[in-house]
Amino acid sequence: MVLAKRPAATEGTLRSWLLQGLQTDRRQIEHGPHVKHPWWRVMCLTGVDYFSTLGYQPGIAALAAGFLSPLATLFLVALTLLGALPVYRRVAAESPYGQGSIAMLEKLAPQWWGKFFVLALLGFAATDFVITMTLSAADATAHILENPFVPDFLAGRRVIVTLVLLAGLGGVFLMGFSEAIGIAVLLVLVYLGLNAVVVATAVVRVVQAPQVVVDWQRALSLDFSSPLTMIGLSLLVMPKLALGLSGFETGVAVMPVVKGEVGQRVKGTKRMLTVAALIMSVFLIFSSFVTTVLIPHEEFEEGGRAGGRALAYLAHGYLGDWFGTVYDVSTITILWFAGASAMAGLINLVPRYLPRYGMAPEWTGAVRPLVLVFSVIAFAITIIFDADVDAQGGAYATGVLVLMLSAAVAVTLSARKKRQHRATAGFAVITAVLVYTLVDNVIERPDGVKIASFFIAAIVVTSLISRATRSTELRVTEVRLDPLAEQYVNDACGDLHLIANEPHQRDQDEYHDKLRETWLNHRLRSSEPVLFVEVSVPDASEFETELHVKGEERYGHRILTIESSAVPNSLAALLLHLRDRTGSVPHIYFHWTEGNPVVAMLRYLVFGGGDVPPLTREVLRQAEPDLERRPHVHVG
C-alpha cells in the first residue's frame, strides 16, 4: 500500500496546534463523527440558523412588502412546505452521508466540467454561509444597541460590536466545538419559548383591539384596487423574503450526525426537516401578521426601533423592558450562534470537495486554519456592508436560493432518470418557481451575485494554483495488483525492469519496436526479463486515486495496465510499491518526449500526461528522499 503524502505536524509548535484534529481519513470526512445524536437534537443545531431568522425576518418582510407582508409570508410558507421541504426530503434520501445536492449534480457533469460546476456551487454556498455569519452577527448587534440598558458609549459602533461578536465566534471554534449540539438545544428551546410568549401576547392584543385589523384592511383597500392585485404584488415581493428559507441545506449537510444506520438516518433527517419547517411556518405566519398590524410602518424604516428586530420591539412594548432584555439576550445569543451553524457548514463542505480535487492544501482538512480564513472573510464583508442587516439580505437570499435551485434541479433529474413521471412534473414546477424567485431577487438586489462571483473567482483561482503546486505529490492512496500482475512480479524474483509504453495500436509491432528501442538506448541485456507498464487516463480531473494494476499478456509480452488520473504519479507509486514488496529497487525505462516543455507541463496539469520521464522522477524525488532507496529512472 502507498499512501499519498499528508502534512505532518511538529509537536509543540503553532503548526501542531493549528493542525490538531486534521482529517486525513476520507471515511471519517464522509461518514462524520463517531458520536451520533437523536434527530431532534440535530434539528436544534440546524435550528440556530433556521429559527434565528425570526430575529429579522418579520422586519425585512414588513419593509419589503409593507401591508402585504402577511400575504407575501403566506406564499413563502407555501413555497417552504410544498417546495423546499419535498425537495430536501428527496435530497436526504439520495445523499445519506450529507453530500447534499452539490454531490448529486457533480455526477451529471463529467471530468473538468463537473469540477468547475461544483466550484461555482461552492461559491454560492460560501456566500450563503458567510453571509449567515455576518448578517446574524449584525442583527445581534442591532438587538444589543437598541436595548435601553446598553451603555451610551456603544451608540453608533455597530461595526465594532459586530466584529467583536464574529471574533468571539471564531474563538469558540479555535478552542474546540465538541458541545455544539448541547448548546444549540438549550438556545433553541429558550428562544422558541420566548418567541411563543411574545407572539401569543401580540395575538391577544390584536384580539383585544380589533380596530388595528380594521385599520390594516382599510389601508389595503386604499392602496390596492382588488384582491388579485394584492396576490400579484405579494408574489412579486415574495423573493425578498427568501431569508425565511434558510437552513435546509445545512440540515442535509449534518446528516452524518444523526443517530442510526443509513435507513434510520434518512428517516430521522426527513422528520427533522419536516418538524423544523412546520414550526418555522407557524411562527412566520403569526409573527408577520402581528408585527404588520401592531407596529407603525415608519418604525421599520432606516433608524426605526423595529428595523431588523420587530418581535423584540413588541417584547419591550407589551411585556416590559426586563422581559424585553431577556428576549434580546436570547435573540442575540441564538443569532450569534447561528454563525456557528454556518461555520460548521463551511467546515463540513470544504474537506469534502476541495482537497479531494487537489484544489486546496491538505491543511484544509483541519478546523482551525479554516476558521481563521473564514473569520477574516467575515470581517471584510462586515466592514464592506457597514454591518447593515438590510444591505446583506439580498446576498444572503441569493446564496440560499441558488442552493435550493440546485437541489430542485438535482431531484428533478433524479426523478426523471428513474422514470417517476409525476414526481418529475412536481419537482419541475418547484424548480420553475425557484427560478422565478432567484431571478427576481437577483434583478432587485444584485449584491448577492456580485459577492458570489467574488467567492467563485477566488475559489477557482486559488483552487487552480493549489492544484498546480500539488501536482507532483504522489496522489495515490493505495496500490492493488490482480493475481496475474502478482505472478509477473513474483516471477521477476526482485529484478524488476519496467518499460513505460504509451499504448496506441497495442499490436505486435508496437511492442517489438518498443523493446528493441529500449535495448538500443539503454543497453539492456536481452536476457533480462522486462515488464511493459501502460497507464491510460480516463479522467484527468481527479486528484487522488487507487491504483488497480492488471496483468495482461499480448504477443508473448507481459504487460501491467493501469487506469489513473495522472501518468507520472501512477508510475512513481507503482515503483515504490514494487520496491517495498520485493525489497529490491526497480528500474523504469523511458524515451525522451519531443515538444515544448511549457506545453508539456500544461498537458500534464490538464490531461495527466505531458513530459512523463522528468515528472516521474520529480514525484519520486519528493516521495522518497533517500537516494539509495529511490527507484531508478532511465531516459534515452
pLDDT the model gives residue 533: 92
Of the spans 124-133, 183-192, 351-360, 445-454, which averages the highest pLDDT? 183-192
Could you give the 3-state DSSP secondary structure of residue 536? strand
- Confidence band (pLDDT; 50, 70, 90) for 1? very low
DSSP-derived letter for residue 507 is S
Quick count: other Cβ atoms within 10 Å of Cβ 22?
20
Is the confidence at residue 537, as pLDDT, over 60?
A: yes
Lowest mean pLDDT among 174-188, 324-338, 366-380, 418-432: 174-188
Is the confidence at residue 20, as pLDDT, over 70?
A: no
Ordered alpha helix ranges (H), 51-150:
57-65, 69-79, 85-94, 100-106, 111-146
User: What is the rounded CA–CA span in Å between residue 302 and residue 268?
Assistant: 42
C-alpha distances in Å from residue 428, one per residue of 431, 435, 535, 536? 5, 10, 43, 40
Lowest mean pLDDT among 23-27, 206-210, 385-389: 23-27
C-alpha distances in Å from residue 238, one per residue of 49, 428, 434, 481? 20, 20, 11, 59
**Cβ contacts of 105-110, under 8 Å, gap ≥ 24:** 105/406, 105/409, 105/410, 108/413, 110/539
pLDDT the model gives residue 549: 92
C-alpha distances in Å from residue 630, one per residue of 5, 495, 532, 624? 16, 15, 20, 6
DSSP bridge pairs for 191: none
pLDDT the model gives residue 25: 47
Is the confidence at residue 431, as pLDDT, over 90?
A: yes
* pLDDT digits 0-9 by tens, 60-99: 888 888 899 999 999 989 989 999 999 999 998 888 777 7
Q: What percent of the chain has pLDDT over 90?
A: 23
DSSP for 131-146, written as a single string: HHHHHHHHHHHHHHHH
Residue type, 63: L
- Give the gyration radius of the chain's Cα atoms: 30
Q: What percent of the chain has pLDDT over 70?
A: 92
C-alpha distances in Å from residue 135, one per residue of 8, 81, 246, 395, 576? 37, 25, 12, 10, 51
Residue-wise over 569-603: b if at least 16 C-beta within 10 A, else e? bbbbbbbbbbbebbeebbbbbbbebeeeeeebbeb
267 vs 335, residue with greater confidence: 267
Is the confidence at residue 24, as pLDDT, over 50?
A: no
C-alpha cell at position 391: 444591505
Is the confidence at residue 115, as pLDDT, over 50?
A: yes
pLDDT the model gives residue 10: 47
Is the confidence at residue 352, as pLDDT, over 80?
A: no
* pLDDT digits 0-9 by tens, 432-446: 988 988 888 888 778
For the chain, the 3-state helix, strand and coil shares in percent, each to the nearest 5, are 70, 5, 25
Is the confidence at residue 240, as pLDDT, over 80?
A: no
Could you give the 3-state DSSP secondary structure of residue 625? coil
197 vs 129, residue with greater confidence: 197
Contact 549, 584 (CB under 8 A): no
Is the confidence at residue 32, as pLDDT, over 70?
A: no
Name 529's Cβ contacts closer than 8 Å, sequence gap at least 6: 491, 492, 495, 497, 558
Contact 241, 72 (CB under 8 A): yes
In terms of Cα–Cα distance, which of 382, 407, 404 is closest to 392?
382
Quick count: other Cβ atoms within 10 Å of Cβ 441?
25
* pLDDT digits 0-9 by tens, 201-216: 999 999 999 899 999 9
Is the confidence at residue 8, as pLDDT, over 60?
A: no
pLDDT the model gives residue 386: 86
Q: What is the mean pLDDT of the chain?
A: 83
372 vs 389, residue with greater confidence: 372
pLDDT the model gives residue 31: 54
Contact 564, 537 (CB under 8 A): yes
User: Average of pLDDT values for 135-164?
Assistant: 83
Is the confidence at residue 37, as pLDDT, over 80?
A: yes
